[in-house]
Structure 1
């Protein structure tokens, strides 16, 4: 657009400054998030320099643009998706605020739209009530917030909750557990069964074990008692001696079970795809 464009009313407009006219124009394009060619400009003042070329005052330009009249189907679809996501975000935040208020928890919620859906961070001022024992409360809130959010018409969105950096800390703990158990399994040749975990935590275990040579993992059982088995690629073989009572007892024991209590389970409806480590940490929750 020409520099001498009239300052007529437009959908969006403003005055921008810079160390050059071009810099001021680029600031306008960054602010409007559209190409320079789609913006109308009018130069209000060029850069003024003093002695030795020192800038006394910056360049000032007026910039404005109107939404295109011929929007097209692609533009309208993008706008529709944006409106749906915003509506779902507001619904999610409102629901969480009401639940936390009923729980008597003073917390601030930072919520945003991300590529995989909606992410909300709950700052509970150091209170563990939002997280609960091994994340049980946080997992429950996440599940319920997902249900409520997706009652809004539109594409399914994934809701992820965190509080005080718990998710990252829990992930590191589970990775350490998987590595420790894997080393024991490799040395003993005997499988180890972990206590029931939710899909998110099982995927962390599977993903970690997949990177360790000599061991493998799989999930067994039905929800809410589905659990991970870590096994050796070279399992130890036992003889079939009948006269050794101790040997017979050990053989019948089966895989050892690790006493590790875990987080919220009962509301996950058999999300078997968690055994695919490429599925992402949060799978779709069927309504």
Structure 2
């Protein structure tokens, strides 16, 4: 039972009745007052009971899982989702036979799905969550690839003494490039361009 309509002598009484039926607490429900009721003469004649509709608040993370499942099953019907929460950061890990389709070229599809779920959960929740969607360890493999690329292109920039521009990347991946080269005293990095074509430039010093 996730929603009940209850009545009482007052709105407060009606709400308490509904909460008891739902076996929850007032901070976990949404309350809609259908009729505020009326005391009537001497509290008896013409009295009208208050009526409220009370529903349990849905967990935004559960709603995000449902939304993500709907998107993922468009690619594959056997997708499994595991969820891990660390404070305001929520990790969703996808697995299944056709996971490569969900990842897409260089993670573009996975990044698009992550963006959709990020927008969705922060639209329905009063809290601000940061969403990370992974697929069978892809994010870690991609991080290693980008770090190797960063060092290789840094060496190239130093060798030819010219700026080297990388392909456009989402901000999370540009951050990996910046971090990988932050201790390299021979180069500096900056982001250039505008979304969705913003990219990292490696410059020899």
Normalised to the residue count of structure 1, the TM-score between the two structures is: 0.50
What is the aligned-residue RMSD (CA, Å)?
2.3
Report the Cα distance in structure 2 between the residues aligned to 1:144 and 1:199, rounded to whole angstroms. 16
Q: Which consecutive residues of structure 1, in runs of 5 or more, have no partner in the other structure?
A: 1-75, 234-287
Alignment of 1:148-227 (within 5 A): 148-227=120-199
Out of 57, 79, 89, which is 2:61 matched to? 89
- Between the aligned partners of 2:164 and 2:176, the Cα distance in structure 1 is 16
Cα distance in 2 between the residues matched to 1:116 and 1:202 = 22
Q: Is the 8 A contact 2:75 2:102 kept in 1?
A: no
> Matched residues in 1 for 2:98 and 2:82: separation?
15
Distance in 2 separating the partners of 1:200 and 1:145: 16
User: Which structure has the highest strand share of the two?
Assistant: 2
Task: Tell me the number of residue pairs that the alignment of Structure 1 and Structure 2 aligns.
Answer: 154
- Which is higher, the Rg of structure 1 or of structure 2? 1
Residue aligned with 2:155, SS? helix
State the 1:103 CA deviation.
3.1
Q: Distance in 2 between matches of 1:116 and 1:125?
A: 30
Counterpart for residue 119 of structure 2: 147
In structure 2, C-alpha distance between the alignment counterparts of 1:128 and 1:230, rounded to whole Å: 30
Shift of 1:188: 2.0
Equivalent of 2:103, from 96, 118, 131? Answer: 131
Secondary structure at 1:151's aligned position in 2? helix
Q: Report the TM-score, using the length of structure 2 for normalisation.
A: 0.69
Deviations 1:172-209, CA, capped at 9 Å, x for gaps: 00000000011111222111111111111100011111
